[in-house]
Structure 1
Amino acid sequence: MYLQLDLQFFAGEKTEKATPKKRQDSRKKGQVAKSQDVNTAILLFFVFILFIVIGGYLKDNFTAIYQKFFTEYINWDVTEDSVHQVFVENTFAVAKVVAPIMAIAIVAGLASNFLQIGFLFTTEPLKMKLNKIDPIQGAKRIFSARALVELVKSLLKIAVVGTITFSILWMRKDQMFMLGGKDINGSLAFFGETTILMGIASAIALLIISVIDYTYQRYDFEKNIRMSKNDIKDEHKNIEGDPQIKGKIKEKQRQIAMRRMMSEIPDADVVITNPTHYAIAIKYDEQKADAPYVVAKGVDYVAFRIREIAKANEVMLVENRPLARALYDGVEIGQVIGEEYFQAVAEILAYVYQLEKKL
């Protein structure tokens, strides 16, 4: 009894790798190995690269907005129409500046997701599930090993990014102290360059961390979708069907085929026997086939039933052991006999027809 319980316990342990079907089902539910840090790192990197490319464009547009505020808008009377015009004009001006950044952010986000999981669209994670608002389940998630890993990872990212940004500012402190002697363009160029440098360095550091995190996420995902031996057996049953049900279906099909075969015996021209082990019912119908064909065949009990039905319906029984054995092995039910059997079967049919005429 204890041995049986131990076997059941081990069979229920999730020690097996997930099957392709399990992976496909998990993917449909939105359960995939994915690191959000990869998205963040790639997004930051490409956004700051974009700042290098369109830095002059951004400076000119923001300077134009600033100048318009303090040279034109400052002289307007505060009315409903003027406020509306200021709002509309600056909304379009800011949108024109933000549009390239939003575009590269969307492209980087889609690309980072595609690199990790390929194309995937599912609404399963958006469905309402009561266990998501269960306080007990929520507490388990908060105080779980995964939550601890996320906390350590967040602290590591804060420490790395903080160290990088402070180091860059410290290395450029002398230039920062000399900004008082520079004009506005020089100061903007310095701060823009420093910001981009900190952003790209932080993005590269986060990308390195994200590779480690992605490796962990894949490990955790593989662990979560592991299957027990019982799970694999159940899945196999669901795919292939329950063996007992399949066996019953096959048995039912055999019974139907047997009844159909037996119903053809009364119309047969002759039954060739072994005489006891084999029985082959032959019929020749010019309208259905160019040669005689097998309407029923069987061994042992089935052969006995064929002989009984043939006798009851006055179908001639002819003993020919080699031919009966050869026809059983070489011709299926409903098939015409092969050329190698033509002469032997023709002689038997001729003999049967002669006897029927005499009778």
Structure 2
Amino acid sequence: MKLRMELQFFSQEKTEKATPKKRQDSRKKGQVAKSNDVNTALILLAVFLFLFLYAGILGDHILNMMGHIFSEYLRWEITSFTLTVILEELVMETAIVLLPIMLVAMVAGTAASMMQVGILFAPEAIKFKASKINPIQGFKRIFSARALVELLKSLLKISLVGILVFSVIWFNLDSLLLLSHKNIEAGFFEIAQLTGLIGSGVAVLLLFLSIPDYIYQKYDHEKQIRMSKQDVKDEHKKMEGDPRIKSKRRQKQMDMAMQRMMQEVPKADVVITNPTHYAIALKYEEDKMEAPVIVAKGVDFMAMRIRMAAEKNEVAMVENKPLARSLYSHGNIGDHVPEDLFKAVAEVLAYVYQLKNKLP
């Protein structure tokens, strides 16, 4: 009993690598090796690199908008109509500023996801599951080893990002202290340049940190989809199918093949018999065939059915024990008669054609 329990335990232990089918099923459920840090890093890097190119246009647009606000809107009388016009114009101007940045972020995020998992559409991943709101399951997730790893990662990222930001500000402290002596435009571009430098530095740092995170996510994913020996056996059995179903399918295929074979017997020129144990039906069309073809063959009960079908459709039957055995042993349905039996078969066909008065 104890030995059986131990064997059962080991068979359920997940020690085997996932099979291709298991990987495919996991992918359909949205369970793939993916690091969110890679997405975050690439989005930040793309956005801040774009801002370096877009900063001049962005700054001019914001300055023009602020000038328009202070030169035009302050002189307007506040009514429901003017307030609507102001809000509409501000929303439009803000959209013009933000839409290119959002578009770059969306493209970068999509590219980062495709780099990791390729093109994937998994609607099952967003289905509602009661286990997601189960407090016991949530408690287990919070205090799991995965949660501890995520906490350590977050603390490391916050520390390194804080050090990087502090270092950039510290090295540019003199320039920041002189902002009060500069005009608004120069001060704006100074802050924008410093912000872009900090953002790009943080993005590069996160991208560097995302490499080991992606490796860990891949390792953790492989661990999550591992299978037990019993799982592998069950999957193999399922793919092969139930033996009873396979047997029924095989029997049905045999019945269909037999039915097709019996439909060819009435078209045969001759049936060579044993006389009771073997029956082989032959057909020969001089202008279409190089040699006679075996259209049906059978032994015992099937031989009896072939003989009955031949008798019913007035197909000639010739008794030749050695030839019947040889044709059954060396020829398959649909094949030409073996070369070493050509002469014997030709003699039989000649005899049949003489009986029908149509000797070629």
**If the length of structure 2 is used for normalisation, what is the TM-score?**
0.83
Which residue of structure 2 lines up, in the alignment, with residue 16 of structure 1?
16
| Alignment check: 8 A CA contact 2:43 2:108 kept | yes
How big is the shift at 1:105? 1.0
Query: Counterpart amino acid of 1:318?
Result: N
Do residues 121 (structure 1) and 121 (structure 2) align? yes
| Alignment check: 8 A CA contact 1:270 1:318 kept | no
In the TM superposition, what whole-angstrom CA distance separates every residue of 1:200-229 from its partner, at most 9, and x where no partner exists? 111111111111111111111111111222
How big is the shift at 1:123? 1.7
For residue 15 of structure 1, give the secondary structure of its aligned residue in structure 2: strand
In the alignment, structure 1 segments of 5+ residues that lack a partner are none
| Alignment check: 8 A CA contact 2:16 2:226 kept | yes
Do residues 110 (structure 1) and 107 (structure 2) align? no
How big is the shift at 1:253? 4.0
Which residue of structure 1 lines up, in the alignment, with residue 303 of structure 2?
306
Q: After TM superposition, list the pairs within 5 Å mapping 1:157-196 onto structure 2.
A: 157-196=157-196
Partners in 2 of 1:132 and 1:57 — Cα distance? 46
Q: Mean alpha-carbon deviation: is it higher for 330-339 or for 205-214?
A: 330-339
When residues 295 and 106 of structure 1 are mapped into structure 2, their CA distance, relative to the original with a 3 A threshold, is closer
Do residues 279 (structure 1) and 281 (structure 2) align? no
| Alignment check: 8 A CA contact 2:269 2:284 kept | no
Which residue of structure 1 lines up, in the alignment, with residue 72 of structure 2?
72
In the TM superposition, what whole-angstrom CA distance separates every residue of 1:33-62 from its partner, at most 9, and x where no partner exists? 111111111111111112211111121122
Partners in 1 of 2:104 and 2:259 — Cα distance? 72
Which residue of structure 2 lines up, in the alignment, with residue 61 of structure 1?
61
How big is the shift at 1:198? 0.9
Identity %: 49
When residues 258 and 72 of structure 1 are mapped into structure 2, their CA distance, relative to the original with a 3 A threshold, is closer
Q: After TM superposition, list the pairs within 5 Å mapping 1:140-159 onto structure 2.
A: 140-159=140-159
RMSD between superposed Cα atoms in Å: 3.5
In the alignment, structure 2 segments of 5+ residues that lack a partner are none
How big is the shift at 1:254? 3.8
For residue 320 of structure 2, give the secondary structure of its aligned residue in structure 1: strand
Q: Mean alpha-carbon deviation: is it higher for 196-205 or for 178-187?
A: 178-187
Q: After TM superposition, list the pairs within 5 Å mapping 1:18-33 onto structure 2.
A: 18-33=18-33
Which residue of structure 2 lines up, in the alignment, with residue 319 of structure 1?
321
| Alignment check: 8 A CA contact 2:279 2:306 kept | no
When residues 87 and 326 of structure 1 are mapped into structure 2, their CA distance, relative to the original with a 3 A threshold, is same
How big is the shift at 1:91? 1.4
How big is the shift at 1:13? 2.1
| Alignment check: 8 A CA contact 1:270 1:352 kept | no
Count how many residue pairs are aligned between Structure 1 and Structure 2.
350
How big is the shift at 1:4? 4.0
